[in-house]
């Protein structure tokens, strides 16, 4: 399975490039609760908190202000990172309508529903976890599987496993996988403190001598996975070779991990991937930093890897434990490490945990070069849920594609955004990203793989430096782009019909399909087949035949225009054309029995 796109948001981090710099520079996301979290007043908690979780462009996602206010911020974050991941994959999100694209989300926290005193319908839909996936599928018009997974801390990696299985089974040919976690109420925090699960200083001292509980964090990650159909000709971030999921079974307690079950799931994933332990270089461990969990996890790895030397680390020491999003946070770290050929350092483990036998295992406490070996760079990735559900995944670096010297020809470049300020931010991000890919690839992604939004900036360049120079000059003196004119569609009434209308348009599959769908509905109600009526002048002179034929023709023509990118902002209808306008607007048209056509 190919990893085609990636996006993330962590405290102080807006994208994967910033995330890599954060890891490489040994930064730490743990901080006191920000003042904006008024629900937390009087609480001395620390963790990986966002400064603000309220910002959201509701109109961009077609939501009213009332709906947006009722929406769990976790769903808002998820929609944003999913959109960014699709664009990173070079896939225009607004071109996926009707596609077999699946949505698989790891999400467990329900703090927002408990905080909201509202009992109206938008609040009910906005706070239920199941709607996180359904809302995204609805917004993009996706027809693939759409589901939310809650297996506690392993949620997002289990969601990733299910997405891979759905792709392999042909249930979808593209999958958006997301994980999100926000701490919006102190209640869960206090409950975890009462169980003794949390560390005293809010950090994860994973595999360190100070491991006595975990620190909590916030974040959202989305990745786009594709089968062969979508992977051909696209940039690939990494490959997923195999994965597995199991449960601890009857361990010493419901929340007590099982080393035997962990070893079993790791072995299952390796067999699914067709690799041996000796072909794995690094394991991104679950590593919460608990006194019980860390020694058990290393013990499980020893059962699988034996004397094979292995690098081990975990992103939780930098971000805190992101719970339902933790698996994807580790996944993103490993993919970036493969791309940069470096394994970033782990924090808060200056002294190794003395209860762990470190023979043949090396904790990454300083950045390590990830040198190529006899096999491609490969890593294992573990995620273990507090409820007992375990997941493990095998990642492999993307295949090396030989680069051809780029030709010095003009490449078209296009940026678009929902607002002018967002357009400026996109330009700033592109300046820093320009040197990471060939200009031809960037041009293809920007022109073909992005949604066409109202505010746009277009230019041409022969190389990276020309493209960068144009952007830097424009950013010094940005000229507001012209908002694209909105399109309206008018649907005529009786008298606009003529024999043979649509005959030439039927060579377009979209028009032909729409016309056939109309015929399937209308033919049982009419005395003549629809396609015959459209061809005969005498038939079109009869009101009872002309009016349904005209509505069918106008509907099919509108579908053709929409397939070409013309999305109407306003719809007008005259006489019988009002029915076609209403149908295109999304209103159901009720057909009367045959006898009533007169």
Residue 447: pLDDT over 90: no
Q: What is the pLDDT of residue 403?
A: 57
Q: What is the pLDDT of residue 139?
A: 92
Residue 241: pLDDT over 90: yes
Planar angle of CA 411, 413, 415, nearest 5 degrees? 175
C-alpha pair distances (Å), 245 with each of 259, 379, 519: 14, 17, 48
Residue 409: pLDDT over 90: no
Q: How far apart are CA 77 and CA 182, in angstroms?
A: 9
Q: Of residues 161, 181, 237, 286, which has the active-site annotation?
A: 286
Residue 482: pLDDT over 70: no
Strand partners, 570: 488
* Closest among 119, 357, 324, 318 to 202, alpha carbons compared: 318
DSSP secondary structure of 365-399: -S-EE----SS--EEEEEEE-TTSEEEEEEEEEPP
Judge residue 251's burial from the number of C-beta atoms within 10 Å of its C-beta, 0-12 exposed, 13-18 middle, 19 or more buried.
middle
Q: Of residues 181, 237, 321, 392, which has the active-site annotation?
A: 321
Q: Is 340 part of the annotated catalytic residue set?
A: no
Lowest-pLDDT choice from 106-110, 121-125, 392-396, 513-517: 121-125
Residue 590: pLDDT over 70: no
Length of the chain: 598
pLDDT confidence bin for 477, thresholds 50/70/90 = confident
Which tens digit of pLDDT belongs to each residue from 205-232? 999 999 999 999 999 999 999 987 677 7
Residue 5: pLDDT over 90: yes
Which tens digit of pLDDT belongs to each residue from 8-24? 999 999 999 999 999 99
pLDDT confidence bin for 421, thresholds 50/70/90 = confident
Q: Collapsing DSSP states into helix, strand and coil, what is residue 223?
A: strand
Check: CB of residue 395 under 8 Å from CB of residue 382: no
Which tens digit of pLDDT belongs to each residue from 253-288? 888 899 999 999 999 999 999 999 999 999 999 999
Q: What is the pLDDT of residue 61?
A: 82
For 180, list phi and psi in degrees, rounded to 5. -145, 145
Judge residue 569's burial from the number of C-beta atoms within 10 Å of its C-beta, 0-12 exposed, 13-18 middle, 19 or more buried.
exposed
**Which of 17-31, 60-74, 227-241, 409-423 has maximum average pLDDT?**
17-31
Percent of the chain scoring above 90 in pLDDT: 62
For residue 569, the Cα-to-chain-centroid distance in whole angstroms is 27
Mean pLDDT, rounded, of the chain: 89
Lowest-pLDDT choice from 44-58, 308-322, 389-403, 584-598: 584-598
Q: What is the mean pLDDT of residues 494-503?
A: 90
Q: What is the pLDDT of residue 479?
A: 75
Q: What is the mean pLDDT of residues 530-559?
A: 92
Q: Is 153 part of the annotated catalytic residue set?
A: yes
Q: What is the pLDDT of residue 316?
A: 97
Contacts of 38 (CB under 8 A, 6+ apart): none
C-alpha pair distances (Å), 50 with each of 44, 131, 332: 16, 23, 19
pLDDT confidence bin for 597, thresholds 50/70/90 = very low
Q: What is the DSSP letter of 331?
A: H
Residue 405: pLDDT over 80: no
Residue 487 or residue 163, greater confidence: 163
Q: What is the pLDDT of residue 569?
A: 85
The neighbour count for residue 136, using CB atoms within 10 Å, is 24
With b for 16 or more beta-carbon neighbours within 10 A and e for fewer, the 514-545 pattern comes to: bbeebbeebeeebeeebbebbeeeebbeeeeb
Q: Which residue is associated with the tokens 């209403």?
A: 582
Check: CB of residue 99 under 8 Å from CB of residue 457: no
Residue 123: pLDDT over 70: no
Q: Is 321 part of the annotated catalytic residue set?
A: yes
Q: Of residues 8, 153, 172, 204, which has the active-site annotation?
A: 153
Q: What is the pLDDT of residue 66?
A: 81
Residue 200: pLDDT over 50: yes
Residue 312: pLDDT over 60: yes
């Amino acid at each position: 399975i190919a990893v085609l796109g990636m996006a993330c948001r962590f405290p102080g981090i807006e994208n994967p490039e910033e995330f890599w710099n954060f890891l490489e520079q040994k930064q730490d996301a743990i901080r006191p609760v920000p003042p904006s979290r008024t629900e937390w007043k009087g609480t001395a908690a620390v963790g990986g908190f966002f400064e603000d979780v309220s910002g959201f462009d509701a109109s961009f996602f077609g939501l009213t202000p009332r709906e947006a206010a009722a929406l769990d911020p976790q769903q808002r974050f998820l929609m944003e990172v999913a959109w960014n991941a699709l664009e990173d994959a070079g896939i225009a999100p607004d071109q996926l309508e009707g596609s077999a694209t699946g949505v698989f989300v790891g999400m467990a926290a329900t703090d927002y529903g408990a905080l909201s005193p509202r009992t109206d319908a938008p609040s009910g839909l906005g706070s239920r976890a199941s709607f996180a996936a359904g809302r995204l599928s609805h917004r993009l018009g996706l027809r693939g599987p759409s589901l939310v997974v809650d297996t506690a801390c392993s949620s997002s990696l289990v969601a990733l496993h299910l997405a891979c299985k759905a792709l392999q089974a042909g249930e979808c040919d593209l999958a958006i996988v997301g994980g999100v976690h926000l701490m919006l109420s102190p209640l869960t925090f206090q409950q975890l403190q009462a169980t003794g699960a949390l560390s005293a200083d809010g950090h994860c001292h994973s595999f360190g001598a100070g491991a006595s509980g975990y620190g909590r964090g916030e974040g959202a990650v989305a990745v786009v996975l594709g089968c062969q159909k979508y992977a051909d000709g696209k940039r690939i971030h990494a490959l997923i070779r195999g994965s597995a999921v199991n449960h601890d079974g009857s361990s010493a307690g419901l929340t007590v991990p099982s080393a035997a079950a962990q070893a079993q799931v790791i072995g299952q994933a390796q067999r699914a991937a067709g690799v041996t332990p000796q072909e794995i270089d690094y394991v991104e461990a679950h590593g919460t930093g608990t006194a019980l969990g860390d020694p058990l996890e290393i013990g499980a790895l020893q059962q699988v890897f034996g004397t094979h030397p292995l690098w081990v680390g975990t992103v939780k020491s930098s971000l805190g434990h992101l719970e339902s999003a933790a698996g994807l946070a580790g996944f993103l770290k490993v993919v970036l490490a493969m791309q940069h050929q470096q394994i970033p350092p782990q924090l808060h483990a200056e002294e190794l945990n003395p209860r762990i036998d470190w023979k043949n295992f090396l904790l990454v406490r300083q950045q390590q070069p990830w040198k190529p070996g006899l096999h491609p760079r490969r890593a294992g990735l573990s995620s273990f849920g507090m409820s007992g559900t375990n997941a493990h995944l095998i990642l492999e670096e993307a295949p090396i594609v030989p680069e051809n010297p780029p030709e010095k020809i003009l490449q078209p470049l296009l940026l678009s955004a929902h607002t002018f300020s967002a357009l400026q931010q996109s330009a700033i991000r592109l300046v820093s990203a320009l040197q990471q890919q060939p200009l031809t690839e960037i041009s293809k992604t920007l022109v073909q793989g992005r949604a066409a939004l109202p505010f746009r900036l277009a230019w041409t360049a022969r190389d990276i430096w020309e493209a960068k120079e144009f952007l830097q000059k424009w950013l010094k003196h940005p000229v507001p782009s012209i908002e694209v004119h909105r399109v309206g569609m008018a649907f005529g009434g009786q008298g606009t019909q003529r024999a043979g209308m649509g005959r030439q348009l039927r060579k377009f599959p979209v028009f032909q399909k729409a016309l056939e769908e109309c015929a399937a509905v209308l033919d049982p109600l009419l005395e003549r087949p629809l396609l015959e009526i459209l061809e005969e002048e005498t038939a079109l002179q009869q009101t009872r035949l002309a009016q349904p034929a005209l509505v069918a023709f106008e509907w099919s023509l509108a579908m053709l225009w929409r397939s070409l990118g013309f999305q109407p902002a306003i719809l007008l209808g005259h006489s019988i054309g009002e029915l076609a306008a209403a149908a295109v607007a999304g209103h159901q048209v009720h057909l009367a029995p045959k006898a009533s056509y007169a």
